């Protein structure tokens, strides 16, 4: 079944792993796990390709950190933790294999933290970072002393990880199949839409992965409005499913959904749900978080009330700055459905003030661009103006003929106003020149496009000073 996927392994508590070395320890998926292992008293070391503030924070937490990769940095490690992005020729991984060390994927290292605790694994094609962030937030607010490792820090400065002593929440990555590793009592599925076919090969195999994920849990909290969820549920044991949604048949109905600017509200059953973050999709995310908390014994009203103080997670419709009535927002959207949802939330927010939506999109991965070029173009065409950057390849090598022009041509075919800017240095000024009071400028993508947003704010300020 797995092919390029990550097969589950038998887990043991972190304290039984001996000294642990994390390759690429500065990454968002690794740093929190390493920090929690250090808090538990494990001897932890790690390396990363480049220095960063994260490495300094880990060093302060007691992790022995190295810049660059070299075999000798393993020292006395007995266990080595890697991510799916680590290449087989990494010198530390090569040395670990030669020494016969225990080599775990990061999901196993994370799963080991859940042993002996009530676990919640949050997955889905879209929305898992926000939903797991919501759940972590409300469990803290409801005094359950949770532990968690999620995909981004919470707005307001809370980190993306916490040890705690109560239930443990993980953001479960479906892209490489590693979501099947987690010993979760409650499984949360936000939605299911074919993605990551470079690993899963076919949409049906992708669905099968979710079927296996759901079958392992005692409770499955899921959005029954989603066609993919419905397809998976048909193969499940019905009593285990706690469904919510606007369509008839949901166990917990979502009704009276209203949007006003960048705020949204609804009723979850008989419980009012009010959010300070925008988008209809966030009502679904919040409903999943509230019902997952309830499966752990939290009162529904208390959980819903805690959602009022949730301010978002890093890079999920994150306000970066404003100038002259122009808002600049950064978002991690890197799939056509996510792009469409984020643009819709922006449109709702600026409608009352008569503003426009200006989108700057950086495609992520050559394989995803090839698979979804037309869908990306259709989604982006909903913006009033689109600035398109070159593809961010991340772990992939370039593919002949696969460029951002594929997305740009599709956007134009769907009626969008699009311009392709190959020179990254020119992008902030192009966006600033396009924007006018009342507009929102959105930077979108999973790559380094996030660095563009503050530069747009600076360019707007410079323009105002001229």
Contact 13, 108 (CB under 8 A): no
Give a yes or no: residue 4 inside a domain: no
128 labelled ligand-binding: yes
Q: What is the per-residue pLDDT across 360-373, written as a single tens digit (0 to 9) for each? A: 999 999 999 999 99
What pLDDT, on a 0 to 100 scale, did the predictor assign at position 466? 46
Answer yes or no: do 387 and 322 share one domain: yes
Structure tokens at 47: 């390396």
Contact 146, 154 (CB under 8 A): no
Answer yes or no: do 245 and 148 share one domain: yes
- 263-268 and 271-275 beta bridge pairing: antiparallel
Give a yes or no: residue 2 inside a domain: no
Give a yes or no: residue 6 inside a domain: no
> How many Cα neighbours within 13 Å face the side chain of 354?
2
319 labelled ligand-binding: no
Q: Which of 128, 186, 342, 369 is catalytic?
A: 128
What pLDDT, on a 0 to 100 scale, did the predictor assign at position 239? 63
More confident residue, 53 or 156: 53
More confident residue, 193 or 289: 289
Instruction: Using the 3D structure, point to which of 68, 88, 106 is the last residue of a domain.
Output: 106
Q: Is 127 left (phi over 0), alpha (psi -120 to 50) or beta?
A: left
Contact 147, 168 (CB under 8 A): yes
129 labelled ligand-binding: yes
Which H or E run contains 306?
helix 300-306
Structure tokens at 10: 């038998």
Give a yes or no: residue 9 inside a domain: no
Answer yes or no: do 261 and 331 share one domain: no
DSSP sequence for 109-129: HHHHHHTTS-EEEEE-SSSHH
What pLDDT, on a 0 to 100 scale, did the predictor assign at position 279? 80
Q: How many domains does the chain have?
A: 3
Q: What is the per-residue pLDDT across 15-49, written as a single tens digit (0 to 9) for each? A: 999 999 999 999 888 999 999 999 999 999 999 99
CA angle 134, 139, 143 (to 5 degrees): 150
The span from the CA of 286 to the CA of 268, in Å, is 10
Contact 254, 281 (CB under 8 A): no
Q: Assign 464 a pLDDT band (cuts: 50, 70, 90).
A: low
Give a yes or no: residue 29 inside a domain: yes
127 labelled ligand-binding: yes
Q: Which of 129, 243, 337, 342 is catalytic?
A: 129
The alpha carbon of 324 is separated from its chain's Cα centroid by a whole number of angstroms, namely 31
* CATH code for position 77: 3.40.50.720
What pLDDT, on a 0 to 100 scale, did the predictor assign at position 151? 82
For residue 352, how many other CB atoms are within 10 A of its CB? 10
Query: Strand order in 20-23's β-sheet?
Result: 64-67, 44-48, 20-23, 79-82, 102-105
Contact 139, 118 (CB under 8 A): no
* CATH code for position 240: 3.40.1190.10
- Whether residue 3 is predicted with pLDDT greater than 70 in this model: the reply is no
79 labelled ligand-binding: no
Give a yes or no: residue 229 inside a domain: yes
Q: What is the per-residue pLDDT across 307-344, written as a single tens digit (0 to 9) for each? A: 999 887 777 778 888 998 999 989 889 989 889 988 98
What pLDDT, on a 0 to 100 scale, did the predictor assign at position 235? 60
What pLDDT, on a 0 to 100 scale, did the predictor assign at position 2? 35
* CATH code for position 382: 3.90.190.20
The span from the CA of 137 to the CA of 159, in Å, is 11
Answer yes or no: do 282 and 142 share one domain: yes
Answer yes or no: do 330 and 295 share one domain: no
408 labelled ligand-binding: no
Q: Assign 110 a pLDDT band (cuts: 50, 70, 90).
A: very high
118 labelled ligand-binding: no
- 102-105 and 147-149 beta bridge pairing: unpaired
Which H or E run contains 288?
helix 280-295
Answer yes or no: do 136 and 179 share one domain: yes
The alpha carbon of 365 is separated from its chain's Cα centroid by a whole number of angstroms, namely 16
The span from the CA of 329 to the CA of 178, in Å, is 31
Contacts 24+ apart (CB under 8 A), 456-461: 456/320, 456/328, 456/360, 456/428, 456/431, 456/432, 457/320, 457/321, 457/322, 457/323, 457/328, 458/428, 459/428, 459/429, 459/431, 459/432, 460/323, 460/324, 460/326, 460/328, 460/432, 460/435, 461/323
Averaged pLDDT, 167-176: 94
- Whether residue 189 is predicted with pLDDT greater than 50 in this model: the reply is yes
Answer yes or no: do 354 and 440 share one domain: yes
- Name residue, tokens 């066609």: 227
Instruction: Using the 3D structure, point to which of 285, 309, 333 is the last residue of a domain.
Output: 309
What pLDDT, on a 0 to 100 scale, did the predictor assign at position 84? 81
Instruction: Using the 3D structure, point to which of 274, 309, 344 is the last residue of a domain.
Output: 309
The span from the CA of 346 to the CA of 278, in Å, is 8
pTM of the full predicted structure?
0.78
Task: For the chain, state the CA radius of gyration.
Answer: 22
Structure tokens at 17: 């792993």
Answer yes or no: do 285 and 147 share one domain: yes
How much is the mean pLDDT over the chain?
92
Judged on CB neighbours under 10 Å (0-12, 13-18, 19+), 131 is buried
Give a yes or no: residue 46 inside a domain: yes
Query: Could you tell me what percent of the chain has a pLDDT over 90?
Result: 75
Answer yes or no: do 265 and 344 share one domain: no
Q: Assign 137 a pLDDT band (cuts: 50, 70, 90).
A: very high
CA distances from 339 to 238, 254, 351, 462 (A): 32, 24, 18, 29
Lowest mean pLDDT among 135-139, 201-205, 212-216, 235-239: 235-239
- Whether residue 59 is predicted with pLDDT greater than 60 in this model: the reply is yes
**129 is known as an active-site residue:** yes
**128 is known as an active-site residue:** yes
Q: What is the per-residue pLDDT across 114-132, written as a single tens digit (0 to 9) for each? A: 999 999 999 999 889 999 9
Helices (H) and strands (E) in the chain, counts: 15, 21
More confident residue, 305 or 342: 305
- Structural domain that includes position 259: 116-309
Q: What is the per-residue pLDDT across 262-286, written as a single tens digit (0 to 9) for each? A: 788 999 999 999 998 878 889 999 9
Give a yes or no: residue 351 inside a domain: yes
CA distances from 271 to 176, 234, 275, 301 (A): 36, 28, 13, 6
Ranked by mean pLDDT, the top range of 186-200, 284-298, 302-316, 343-357 is 284-298
Answer yes or no: do 271 and 172 share one domain: yes
Answer yes or no: do 94 and 170 share one domain: no
Answer yes or no: do 159 and 27 share one domain: no
CA distances from 190 to 193, 279, 292 (A): 10, 15, 11
Averaged pLDDT, 65-75: 96
């Amino acid at each position: 079944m797995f092919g390029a996927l990550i097969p589950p392994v038998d887990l043991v508590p972190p304290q039984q792993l001996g000294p642990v070395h994390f390759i690429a320890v500065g990454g968002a998926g690794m740093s929190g796990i390493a920090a929690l292992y250090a808090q538990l008293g494990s001897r932890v070391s790690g390396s990363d390709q480049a220095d960063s503030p994260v490495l300094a924070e880990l060093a302060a937490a007691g992790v022995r950190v190295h810049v660059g990769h070299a075999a000798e940095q393993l020292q006395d490690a007995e266990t080595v933790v890697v991510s799916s992005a680590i290449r087989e020729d990494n010198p530390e991984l090569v040395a670990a294999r030669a020494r016969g060390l225990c080599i775990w994927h990061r999901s196993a290292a994370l799963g080991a933290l859940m042993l002996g605790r009530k676990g919640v694994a949050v997955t889905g094609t879209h929305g898992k970072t926000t939903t797991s962030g919501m759940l972590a937030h409300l469990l803290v607010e409801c005094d359950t002393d949770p532990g968690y490792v999620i995909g981004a820090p919470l707005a307001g400065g809370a980190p993306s990880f916490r040890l705690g002593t109560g239930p443990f929440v993980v953001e479960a990555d479906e892209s490489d199949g590693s979501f099947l590793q987690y010993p979760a009592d409650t499984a949360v599925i936000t939605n299911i839409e074919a993605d990551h076919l470079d690993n899963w090969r076919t949409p049906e195999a992708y669905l099968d992965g979710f079927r296996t994920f759901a079958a392992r849990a005692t409770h499955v909290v899921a959005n029954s409005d989603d066609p993919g969820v419905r397809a998976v549920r048909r193969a499940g044991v019905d009593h285990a499913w706690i469904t919510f949604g606007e369509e008839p048949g949901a166990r917990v109905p979502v009704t009276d959904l209203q949007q006003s600017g960048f705020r949204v509200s609804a009723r979850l059953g008989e419980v009012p749900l009010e959010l300070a973050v925008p988008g209809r999709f966030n009502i679904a995310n919040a409903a999943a978080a509230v019902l997952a908390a309830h499966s752990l014994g939290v009162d529904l009203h208390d959980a819903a009330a805690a959602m009022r103080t949730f301010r978002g997670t890093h890079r999920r419709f994150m306000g970066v700055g404003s100038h002259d009535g122009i808002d600049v927002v950064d978002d991690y959207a890197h799939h056509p459905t996510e792009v469409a949802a984020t643009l819709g939330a922006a449109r709702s927010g600026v409608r009352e003030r008569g503003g426009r939506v200006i989108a700057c999109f950086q495609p992520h991965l050559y394989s995803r661009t090839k698979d979804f070029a037309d869908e990306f173009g259709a989604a982006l065409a909903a913006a009033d103006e689109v600035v398109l950057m070159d593809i961010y390849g991340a772990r992939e090598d370039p593919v002949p003929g696969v460029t951002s022009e594929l997305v740009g041509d599709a956007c134009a075919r769907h009626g969008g106003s699009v311009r392709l800017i190959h020179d990254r240095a020119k992008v902030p000024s192009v966006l600033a020149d396009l924007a006018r009071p009342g507009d929102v400028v959105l930077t979108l993508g999973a790559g380094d496009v996030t660095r563009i947003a503050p530069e747009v704010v600076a360019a707007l300020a410079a323009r105002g000073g001229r």
